[in-house]
Amino acid sequence: MSISDLFASIEPLEGPTVATIGTFDGVHLGHQALLQRVQDEAAKRGAKSVAFVFKEQPRAFIKPSTQVTYLSDFETRREILTKIGIDHVIELEFSSAIQKLSSDEFVGALRDRIGLVSLILGPGAMIGSDRAGVEQLSATSEHTDIDFIGVPAIVVDGEAVSSSVIRIAIVSGNCELASKMLGRNYSISGIVADGEKRGREIGFPTANIEPKFPATVPENGIYATLVEVDGETHKSATSIGVRPTFETDGGRTIEAYLLDFDGDLYTKRLRLEFVTRLRAEVAFDSVEQLVEQMNKDVEQTRQILANN
Ligand SMILES: Cc1cc2nc3c(=O)[nH]c(=O)nc-3n(C[C@H](O)[C@H](O)[C@H](O)COP(=O)(O)O)c2cc1C
Ligand SMILES: Nc1ncnc2c1ncn2[C@@H]1O[C@H](COP(=O)(O)OP(=O)(O)O)[C@@H](O)[C@H]1O
């Protein structure tokens, strides 16, 4: 297959264009700064801004046995990038043929296909089989007509913002760090599914949410959350875990009790925003003890979310 065949699925653009490339999982503050630079450079050159987005993390392709989870699905990433003002968001399939291209072949193909005049890369980003970063590209690329620009990392609480650092924060229950690095609360979307119908019996009906892609799920525990459903936002207390008070080998569920709400949520799409982790889940000796604690969780949630 020729190089131009490999890029045939990319709609040709007349150019000039300023582009960046990545998975953009979460579209966090670092991504946002990078995308801003792409837009600024495009404006300076009278060019269009382009983001090439890998649907899947390249490491999932390179080593299929790797368990990868995401902060946001592809459609959400596309929506955010478009909202930010990127002119063309182009899905890029990672394939063994693309993987074999050298950085010069890759950049040359982009120049021919979309009229690339500048490529902007985030910290540590490398392209092509020779894994060229911005410094190498600037020094040795045969495409001297293309401007290669590197954008530094954004640092939050002394740590460089990255999708993997945010994923680690979430699986450790650190909602606050995730929120700071994302520039918004971390959220999971999914459809409300049937549970064991036990919730309403104990006075706390819970909407069980099933994410449809490999979402990064916060550590088991109880969280103060916000639920968005039918265009409205509700305060909620959410439990993630295996419900040890009732189950001995229960699967992991994500279930939200919406405060001051009564209605049918089954089959609805719901977005759950994580604000803070309240506590670990506990195997209570009785349902009464669980209910007593759930009442406390709801009160604490009310206080924490008083300003939301
Ligand atoms: C705020 C909140 C706190 C919870 N805490 C615990 C807990 O500490 N231990 C536990 O076994 N289950 C806990 N749960 C889960 C309940 O056991 C679960 O919601 C109940 O079994 C209803 O399940 P169902 O939706 O399948 O009917 C909690 C649920 C909520 C909403
Ligand atoms: N305040 C509420 N919070 C969450 N779900 C509620 C609430 N009020 C009513 N519901 C409805 O009740 C369902 C949950 O009841 P529950 O007895 O826990 O059943 P299940 O085990 O199927 O989740 C939700 O899916 C939703 O349709």
CB 18 within 8 A of CB 45: yes
Distance CA 31, CA 186 (A): 15
Q: Is the CB of 227 under 6 A from ligand 2?
A: no
- pLDDT attached to residue 172: 98
Return the ligand 2 atom nearest residue 236 CA: 3
Q: Is the CB of 192 under 6 A from ligand 2?
A: yes
Of 287, 280, 270, the C-alpha closest to 231 is 270
Distance CA 223, CA 300 (A): 10
CB 52 within 8 A of CB 205: no
Domains along the sequence of the chain with CATH = 3-159 (3.40.50.620), 185-304 (2.40.30.30)
Tokens of 159: 């740590």
The per-residue DSSP string of the chain comes to --HHHHTTTSPP--S-EEEEEE--TT--HHHHHHHHHHHHHHHHHT-EEEEEEESS-HHHHHSTTS---BSS-HHHHHHHHHHHT-SEEEEE---HHHHHS-HHHHHHHHHHHH-EEEEEE-TT--BTTTTB-HHHHHHH-S-TTSEEEE-PPPEETTEE--HHHHHHHHHTT-HHHHHHHHTS-EEEEEEEE---S-TGGGT---EEEE-SS-B-PPPSEEEEEEEEETTEEEEEEEEEE--TTT-SSPPPEEEEEETT--S--TT-EEEEEEEEEEE-----SSHHHHHHHHHHHHHHHHHHTTT-
Q: Which ligand is nearest to the CA of 225?
A: 1
- pLDDT attached to residue 66: 79
- pLDDT attached to residue 1: 65
274 Cα to the center of ligand 1, angstroms = 17
pLDDT in single tens digits along all 308 residues of the chain: 677 777 888 889 998 999 999 999 999 999 999 999 999 999 999 999 999 999 888 777 777 777 899 999 999 999 999 999 999 999 988 778 888 999 999 999 999 999 999 999 999 999 999 999 999 999 999 999 999 999 999 999 999 999 999 999 999 999 999 999 999 999 999 999 998 899 999 999 999 999 988 999 999 999 999 999 999 999 999 999 999 999 888 799 999 999 999 999 999 999 999 999 999 999 999 999 999 999 999 999 999 999 98
Distance CA 137, CA 107 (A): 10
Return the ligand 2 atom nearest residue 257 CA: 3
Report which protein residue has its CA nearest ligand 1's atom 20. 199
- Mutation choice for ligand 1 from 209, 219, 245, CB with most ligand atoms inside 8 A: 245
Residue 259 buriedness (CB in 10 A; 0-12 / 13-18 / 19+):
middle
Tokens of 277: 């982790």
Q: Which ligand is nearest to the CA of 258?
A: 2
Q: Which ligand is nearest to the CA of 246?
A: 1
- Mutation choice for ligand 2 from 265, 266, 294, 295, CB with most ligand atoms inside 8 A: 265
